[in-house]
Chains A and B, each alone.
Chain A
Amino acid sequence: MRLWIYVVRRILLIVPVIIGVMTITFVLVNALPVSQRLVSYYGPSPRLSYDPVIPCSKLTGNPSTLGNCTNPAYTRGVAALGLDKPIPVQWAIYIGNSLTGHWGYVGNGTGVTQSVPITRGQPVVTVLGWFLPYTLELAGLSLLLILIIAIPIGNLSAVNRNRPVDQAARVLSFSGYAMPAFLLGSVLLMAFVLLLGGSSGLSPFCHGQSSYTDLTGSWPPPQCFPGQLYPTWLQSGAISSPTGFPTVDAAYHGLWFMALDTLIRILIPAFVIAYGTVALLLRFVRNSMLEVLNLDFVRTARAKGLPEKTVVKKHAGRNSLNVTITVLGLTFAGFIGGFPIIEQVFQLNGVGRMIAYSVTLTPYDFGMIFGSTILFTLLVVSANIIVDVLYAFLDPRVRLG
């Protein structure tokens, strides 16, 4: 019962943070010209029934001149966003829209770079909903890898303090911090291409079969993208997508080979993402393990003749776990921030790839950029809640305070 009260209180405490983040994005959105704000909120011209950039381009946010624009669509848009009202009212309207999921529409680029055709003009929330499962799957796999790699190596280097194993772990940790993730990813990608051969560009990750890489785009090897956003078996309406998670969907339809294939394809990207976080986590795991190993109950466990393995794994390992979880929560923002990079390197579908798309368009697709920023913030915040709840679960003393 007490845990539930703690969880609810923790969730309520997060609301001001979310509103604060939306306020940051509001301040930034407010610095945009009015035409850009209208486009990012109403999407490209068909929806607004005129192109706001051309007729009203000289009106950049000065309320006194806004009334001069005679286009009814423009004035309607301005009135709906409250752009002719004072800043606090605009803020309230923005926060209201953001909290109720009105994050605007995906724009279309001009000139050489065009947005992905299927997403063009769609509501940002809908598009993010399409791509979020892909990112979550990748995140889940790399979190799993982080825990699998960091905890044993951290414990090992604590047990063998200042021995070669520890030094090797230290080098691993430092190099993970200093290695540019995209370079490691690119080199691994190229190594696999050259090792596994293949004539179609970067074939191992770009097979045209995987549900992760079927995305229309500007990626040079044309055989990589058969011209559709969704995997073939998803778009051909015969097979439905009940969950949105590619692997889960494939498994749901009994396509076990496809599910396995999809997982194998994201194994290396997940490893590259995990590497940076492992580097940060390793030192904390080691230090907390060292601290726990010096505590009295460990000495007692040893004194009563338990084998060293049991002492390290059962007694010390479990007690050093809560530090690991806390640090994992703290590094989650950086972890999530790595997704645009890795999804761009391996050309994987996902929210991060959409961000990379939005910033290569001219003008930038602001609806998408701000929407995915808020989405990633929500992810970080909810991860922090989960971490806190886990912490409270592992260490009941927390709830009393």
Chain B
Amino acid sequence: MVDEPKETKLRVRRRPNPRLDQLRRTWYFFRRNTLAMIGLGILIFFVILYVVSFFYAAPATQLETYQATNGSLPTPTAIFTQVCTYQQGESPPGPNCYLTPVGMPSVIGPTATLRTASLGPLPFGSLTLNPPGQIFYNTFDGLVKGTQWSLTISVGVVVSGAFIGILLGIVSGYYGGVVDEVIMRLTDIFLSVPGLLLVIITLAVFAPSVTNLWTRVGLVIAAFVVVWWPSYARIVRSQVLVVREQRYVEAAKASGAQGGRILRKHILPNSIYPVFVQMSLDVGTVPLLIAAIVFIGFQVFTTRSFPEWGTITAFSAQPDVLASFITNCQSASALGLGCTFPWWQFFFPGLTLFLFAISVSFFADGLRDALDPRLRR
């Protein structure tokens, strides 16, 4: 009678959660990796920027509102009356105007006073220079607004790709036999097509009939998932092949656990960590690939200057845009006028892409080292 309360107390006390323990251990090792912590810091910055971007009332979506109110995109002439640009053969209307090829608006709407603004700490933060009704956003607005699209798309791609890959990889690795053979030959086929091209052909077939913005974004995600699932399936399968031979799986089988329970409780949690590493690496690759596809001239999104990191970067680094900058400076100096080379147009978007990709790769590297006991020093 005396002992009973003590016993219940013991029973109530919770068993330490092994997963929580492992998480704590991982964090302990992760914290000691300087590069990984830098990566994590930059990532946290981007996550904060992601949240902020929803509340940031920038005129970044003015191109879409233009399309919504007027029913179509502005014609190049409509664009060029708004900004200080001029075309081949014309004389420049003033200093710091840009020679712009036909049909190629610049991402910043360059104005006559741009140079004054560009003396500030952020040469691209020329918020007040955007006259109302101007259909362009400046690079800063575009990048802040672009955070939400870029991160949504990359995380969407990686999460859905990993979901399909984990599912197929586990089934393939655990059951083996014909199922394994079929799934692995499928991954072989998908992995032998260059990813960039597979995305392009998928988009080229389906995109022309999709004009709705959100459906288009979904299509972009789907096109990337087609490319991405095989690598996850491969990783998970190779892990499952190791894990399923472990003693604790045997023990679970011996104690009568069903296949589904073994997969869920024993195999999945123990083979998923390499997927996390690969996922965090791939999150950084998606905007880079979108940038590449936009760069070679494919219109991924519904508008050419869609506020997404990759699109902004690629758009401002087009060879003809760069060539027009150079020609502009050359003709301006011939006329005795000053010339501001708009380096920020591709520098800051490119820096954003670079920082994002390098921070996730630092993060992934640190995560790999922290999770794999062999790599710890």
Contacts and interface: CB of A to CB of B under 8 A. Distances in A.
Nearest to A112: B103
B292 A178 contact: no
B200 to A, nearest CB: 6
Given A180-B353, A340-B196, A373-B193, A186 B346 contact: yes
B298 interface: yes
Interface residues on A, range: 35 or more
Interface in B357-376: 357-358, 361-362, 365
B204 interface: yes
B297 A356 contact: yes
B251 interface: no
Given A202-B323, A220-B101, A381-B192, A177 B357 contact: yes
B250 interface: no
Contact of A20 (B88, B186, B313, B330): B186
Contacts of B330: 199
B354 interface: yes
A98 to B, nearest CB: 14
Nearest to B88: A220
Interface string B309-328: 01001100101101110110
B190 interface: yes
A248 B70 CA distance: 56
A220 B359 CA distance: 37
B297 A380 contact: no
Interface in A25-80: 25, 28-29, 31-32
B162 interface: no
Interface in A332-361: 333-334, 336-338, 340-341, 344-345, 347, 352, 355-357, 359-360
Given A174-B361, A180-B288, A369-B201, A220 B196 contact: no
B320 A219 contact: yes
Contacts of A344: 295-297, 319
The dominant DSSP class at the A interface is helix
Given A178-B357, A182-B317, A369-B201, A359 B208 contact: no
A182 B194 contact: no
A181 B288 CA distance: 9
Given A186-B322, A336-B194, A337-B194, A178 B358 contact: yes
Contacts of B314: 182
Interface string B191-208: 111111110111011101
A336 B197 CA distance: 10
A177 B323 contact: no
Contacts, number: 166
A16 B194 CA distance: 17
B75 to A, nearest CB: 12
B342 interface: no
Interface in B275-307: 284, 288, 291-292, 295-298
Contacts of A381: 192
B202 A28 contact: yes
A394 interface: no
Interface residues of B, number: 54
A380 B327 CA distance: 40
A17 B189 contact: yes
A377 B194 contact: yes
A199 B326 CA distance: 10
Nearest to A199: B330
Contacts of B196: 337-338, 340-341
A369 B355 CA distance: 32
A370 interface: yes
A142 interface: no
B136 to A, nearest CB: 21
B205 A32 contact: yes
A183 B346 contact: yes
B257 to A, nearest CB: 34
A363 B299 CA distance: 12
Contacts of B201: 25, 28, 369-370, 373
Interface string A159-200: 000000000000000110111111100100110011000010
Contacts of B358: 174-175, 177-178
A372 interface: yes
B189 A183 contact: no
A186 B292 CA distance: 12
Contacts of A396: none
A117 interface: no
Interface string B15-56: 000000000000000000000000000000000000000000
A183 B194 contact: no
A179 B355 CA distance: 9
Contacts of B105: none
B204 A178 contact: no
Given A178-B357, A356-B296, A360-B298, A337 B197 contact: yes
Contacts of A372: 197
A176 to B, nearest CB: 10
Nearest to A185: B317
Nearest to A224: B323
Contacts of B284: 177-178
Contacts of A194: 326
A376 B196 CA distance: 11
A268 interface: no
B193 A180 contact: no
Interface centre among A181, A219, A220 (most CB of B within 10 A): A220
B308 to A, nearest CB: 13
A134 interface: no
Contacts of B189: 17, 20-21, 23-24
Nearest to B350: A183
A140 interface: no
B185 interface: yes
A334 B195 contact: yes
Contacts of B322: 186, 189-190, 202
Interface centre among B103, B192, B358 (most CB of A within 10 A): B192
Nearest to B104: A220
A96 interface: no
A357 B204 CA distance: 13
A117 B88 CA distance: 24
Interface of A: 16-17, 20-21, 23-25, 28-29, 31-32, 112, 174-175, 177-183, 186, 189-190, 193-194, 199, 201-202, 218-221, 333-334, 336-338, 340-341, 344-345, 347, 352, 355-357, 359-360, 363-364, 366, 369-370, 372-373, 376-377, 380-381, 384
18 contacts: A20-B185, A31-B206, A179-B354, A179-B357, A181-B292, A186-B346, A201-B323, A219-B320, A219-B323, A334-B194, A344-B295, A344-B297, A359-B204, A366-B205, A369-B200, A369-B201, A373-B201, A377-B192
Given A25-B201, A377-B194, 5 more contacts: A112-B103, A177-B358, A186-B346, A340-B292, A344-B296
Closest 5 CB pairs of A and B: A337-B194, A178-B357, A20-B189, A178-B358, A360-B297
